């Protein structure tokens, strides 16, 4: 099988930027003859809110986005993540750092901000045994060296693999592990998502190889931003389908806004997602963020 997917976290309503990424993921998949799958990324229970998974699915359907098969729900797959991790012991290590320790160590001179500073990478078994007495460890990927992947918009991605967290210290599977295990399980070979995840790609490509699966082709698409150039958020006003509906802008009109932002329709032109599919051309996609202004309240 060959498939693309959209993988939202049910932590709130999808906004126009999220919906645009979903439309693009659907267009990339369908125009290349792939299946299109929905995955519900609900592992972080502190952020998940009841009802949003259903509302998100309804909003995607209102735009005409169709999915194959049943959604894959991450919270039902914890055993699969544990199994995958159990096969990776040679490529992982226990990490006892608190967030604060990492922030402090990472801000020291000659460190790359945002990257794990390596504190626990070479602990001896005795040191680990000692630390386990006071704190349960997270599990990190043993990163280092570069990894490459192909991106349909950015070309060849080459990046250093960070020691990303695979299991949190509360025992839960972390995003980077779940996303790779699930894409491999679902035979996803095309990953279209926001370009805020570009930096996560080398580690995910490495992990995919370690799990013995083929690395997908990626397309990291530009995000939507507000008038200040900051990534769009729900507080930016009428940027969700429900808020737009209150102002008389229905899902069809929202699809037109998204299509116009992708240069696939004229402003105000009625279109269906099938029309967009016929017009879709990767080479002509805008590479800049979508600036959404003038929709306060
Ligand atoms: N769940 C992630 C998000 O909502 C997407 C992860 C992915 O596409 O790899 O940003």
pTM of the predicted model as reported, rounded to 2 decimal places: 0.95
**Ligand 1 pocket check for 177: Cβ under 6 Å:** no
Assess whether the C-beta atom of 7 lies below 6 angstroms from ligand 1. yes
Give the pLDDT confidence score for residue 293 in this predicted structure.
83
Nearest CA to ligand 1 atom 5: 7
From 19, 37, 73, 179, mutation site for ligand 1 pocket: most ligand atoms within 8 A of C-beta: 179
Is there an atom of ligand 1 within 6 Å of 216 CB? no
- What are the backbone angles phi and psi of residue 119, rounded to the nearest 5°? -50, -50
Instruction: Judge if the beta carbon of residue 193 lies within 6 A of ligand 1.
Output: yes
Q: Cβ(92) to ligand 1 under 6 A?
A: no
For ligand 1, atom 6, name the residue with the nearest CA. 7
Distances (CA, A) of 113 to 103, 143, 265: 8, 16, 41
State in Å: Cα 194 to ligand 1 middle.
8
How far apart are the CA of 40 and the centre of ligand 1, in A? 9
Does any ligand 1 atom lie closer than 6 A to the CB of residue 14? no
Residue with tokens 């900051």: 230
Residue 74 CA to ligand 1 centre (angstroms): 12
pLDDT given for residue 113 in this prediction: 73
Whether 79-221 and 3-74+222-291 are alike in CATH topology: the answer is: yes
Look up residue 256 and give its two tokens.
């037109």
User: Are 183 and 205 contacting, i.e. CB atoms less than 8 angstroms apart?
Assistant: no
Give pLDDT, residue 63. 98
38 pocket-lining for ligand 1 (C-beta < 6 Å):
no
What's the 273 CA to ligand 1 centre distance in angstroms?
A: 22
Q: How many residues does the chain have?
A: 297
* CATH architecture of the domain covering 3-74+222-291: 3-Layer(aba) Sandwich (3.40)
41 within ligand 1 shell (Cβ under 6 A):
yes
Domain 79-221 grouped into CATH 3.40.50.620: yes
Reported for 61-65, long-range contacts at CB under 8 A and 24+ positions apart, including other chains, are 62/241, 62/251, 63/19, 63/22, 63/23, 63/251, 63/254, 63/255, 63/258, 63/273, 64/255, 64/272, 64/273, 64/274, 65/6, 65/22, 65/23, 65/26, 65/36, 65/273
Q: How far apart are CA 261 and CA 134, in angstroms?
A: 52
Q: Is 174 helix (H, G, I), strand (E, B) or coil?
A: coil
Per-residue confidence (pLDDT) for residue 289, from 0 to 100? 96
pLDDT at 115: 87
- CA of 179 relative to ligand 1 center, distance in Å: 8
Closest-CA residue, ligand 1 atom 10, reads 8
Per-residue confidence in pLDDT tens, the chain, 297 aa: 799 999 999 999 999 999 999 999 999 999 999 999 999 999 998 999 999 999 999 999 999 999 999 999 999 999 999 999 999 999 999 999 999 998 888 777 777 777 899 999 999 999 999 999 999 999 999 999 999 999 999 999 999 999 999 999 999 999 999 999 999 999 999 999 999 999 999 999 999 999 999 999 999 999 999 999 999 998 898 999 999 999 999 999 999 999 999 999 999 999 999 999 999 999 999 999 999 986 544
Q: What is the pLDDT of residue 295?
A: 53
Of 4, 6, 8, the one to substitute when testing ligand 1's pocket (max ligand atoms within 8 A of C-beta) is: 8
Q: Does residue 197's CB lie within 6 angstroms of at least one atom of ligand 1?
A: yes
Q: Which helix (H) or strand (E) holds 8?
A: none
**So where are the chain's domains?**
3-74+222-291, 79-221
| DSSP, res 294 | S
Ligand 1, closest atom to CA 193? 8
In this prediction, residue 173 carries a pLDDT of 97
């Amino acid at each position: 099988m060959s498939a693309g997917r959209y993988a939202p976290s049910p932590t709130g309503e999808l906004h126009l930027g999220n919906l645009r990424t979903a439309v693009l993921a659907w267009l990339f998949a369908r125009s290349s003859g792939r299946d299109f799958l929905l995955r519900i990324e609900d592992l972080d229970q502190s952020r998940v809110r009841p009802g949003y998974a259903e509302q998100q699915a309804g909003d995607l359907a209102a735009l005409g986005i169709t999915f194959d098969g049943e959604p894959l729900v991450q919270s039902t797959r914890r055993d699969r993540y544990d199994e995958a991790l159990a096969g990776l012991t040679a490529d992982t290590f226990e990490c006892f750092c608190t967030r604060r320790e990492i922030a402090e160590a990472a801000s020291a001179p000659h460190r790359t901000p945002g990257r794990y500073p390596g504190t626990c990478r070479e602990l001896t078994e005795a040191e680990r045994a000692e630390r386990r007495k006071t704190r349960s460890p997270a599990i990190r990927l043993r990163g280092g060296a570069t990894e490459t992947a192909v991106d349909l918009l950015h070309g060849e991605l080459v990046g250093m693999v960070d020691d990303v967290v695979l299991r949190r210290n509360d025992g839960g599977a972390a995003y980077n592990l779940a996303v790779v295990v699930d894409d491999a399980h679902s035979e996803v070979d095309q990953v279209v998502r926001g370009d805020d995840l570009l930096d996560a790609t080398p580690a995910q490509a490495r992990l995919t190889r370690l799990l013995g699966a083929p690395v997908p082709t990626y397309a990291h698409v530009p995000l939507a931003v507000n008038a200040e150039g900051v990534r769009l958020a729900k507080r930016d006003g009428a940027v969700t389908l429900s808020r737009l509906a209150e102002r008389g802008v229905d899902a069809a009109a929202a699809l037109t806004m998204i299509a116009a932002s992708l240069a696939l329709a004229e402003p105000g032109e009625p279109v269906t997602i099938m029309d967009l599919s016929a017009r879709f051309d990767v080479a002509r996609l805008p590479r800049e963020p979508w600036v959404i202004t003038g929709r306060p309240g």
